[in-house]
């Protein structure tokens, strides 16, 4: 019996440099959801995503992972986080980068590195050092992890940055397919998302008194 929610955050509040980014924010993400976090620049989208991913501990409120807790496994196993920084090393090749990033998850990947690179449109770039790729290609190397790693929850911060139009369409299809397969996606983007998504709007910066 799967738990109703994958992620259950209640009463989150965060403040940066005296500005209240959000408060009393509650959100639930269930299997099959695509949640789009919206807001102006500086509204706290990245902060929210980093808090959910456990990278930022400067907040109040509770974050629970009922599905992972029910299966008695660490929630980090369930989460694939892709931030502004791609996390790929310039002097390693695309294949080496993906190999070590997958090994960090502690469980075998989903298919081969070659397949993942092919699906993201980088076939033939396996053995090219990432430093000699373009910004968009670098981003794609990081995004290839979406096809490679078996994590039900994707937390993606501006995943479409520097990606061309066909690439964006392919990625949107991948997000939708992931949601249909029972995964869930939390995403921030300034692109118009062509797939059905719930949206969560961060009202933006209010000056704290």
What DSSP string describes 16-37? Answer: ETTEEEEEEEEEEE-TT-EEEE
13 and 24 in contact (C-beta within 8 Å)?
yes
User: Is 208 near other proteins (CB under 8 A)?
Assistant: no
Sign of CA dihedral 191, 173, 3, 149: negative
The only residue of 61, 87, 136, 204 in contact with other proteins, by rule CB under 8 A: 87
Of 1, 104, 192, 209, the one binding other proteins by CB under 8 A:
104
Q: What is the DSSP string of 147-179?
A: HHS--SEEEEESTTTT--HHHHHHHHHHHHHHH
Nearer to other proteins, 132 or 201 (CB): 132
What string of DSSP letters covers 78-99? GEEEE-SS----TTSBHHHHHH
Toward other proteins, which CB reaches closer, 58 or 164? 58
Q: Residue 139 Cβ, how far from other proteins at the closest point, in Å?
A: 11
How many chain residues interact with other proteins (CB under 8 A)?
31
Give the other-Cβ count within 10 Å of 134's Cβ: 9
Give the nearest distance from C-beta 5 to other proteins in angstroms. Answer: 20
* Closer of 54 and 204 to other proteins (Cβ): 54
CB 39 within 8 A of CB 202: yes
For other proteins, the binding residues in 49-78 under the rule CB under 8 A are: 53-58, 73-74, 76-77
Under DSSP, is residue 198 helix (H, G, I), strand (E, B) or coil?
strand
17 burial (CB, 10 Å; 0-12 / 13-18 / 19+) is: exposed
Q: Using CB under 8 A, pick the residue from 72, 106, 127, 192 that binds other proteins.
A: 106
In the complex with other proteins, the residue whose CB is nearer, 37 or 101, is: 101
Query: Which residue number, 106 or 196, has a Cβ lying nearer to other proteins?
Result: 106
Considering only the stretches 84-92, 112-120, 158-166, 181-189, report the one whose residues sit in contact with other proteins under the rule CB under 8 A.
84-92
Binding site for other proteins (CB under 8 A): 53-58, 73-74, 76-77, 79-81, 83-92, 96, 99-101, 103-106
């Amino acid at each position: 019996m799967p738990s109703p929610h994958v992620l259950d955050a209640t009463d989150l509040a965060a403040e940066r440099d005296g500005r209240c980014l959000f408060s009393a924010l509650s959100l639930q993400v269930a299997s099959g959801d695509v949640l789009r976090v919206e807001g102006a620049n500086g509204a706290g989208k990245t902060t929210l995503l980093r808090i959910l991913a456990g990278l930022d501990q400067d907040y109040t409120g509770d974050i629970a992972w009922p599905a992972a807790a029910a299966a008695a496994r660490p929630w980090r196993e369930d989460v694939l986080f892709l931030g502004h920084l791609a996390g790929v090393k310039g002097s390693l090749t695309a294949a080496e980068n993906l190999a070590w990033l997958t090994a960090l998850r502690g469980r075998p990947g989903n298919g081969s590195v070659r397949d993942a690179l092919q699906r993201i449109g980088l076939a033939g770039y396996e053995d090219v050092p990432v430093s000699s790729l373009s910004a968009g290609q670098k981003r794609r190397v990081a995004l290839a992890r979406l096809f490679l790693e078996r994590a039900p929850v994707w937390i993606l911060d501006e995943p479409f940055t520097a990606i061309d139009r066909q690439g964006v369409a392919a990625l949107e299809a991948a997000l939708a397919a992931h949601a249909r397969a029972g995964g869930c996606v939390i995403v921030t983007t300034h692109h118009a998302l062509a797939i059905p998504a719930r949206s969560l709007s961060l009202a933006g910066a209010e000056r704290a008194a």
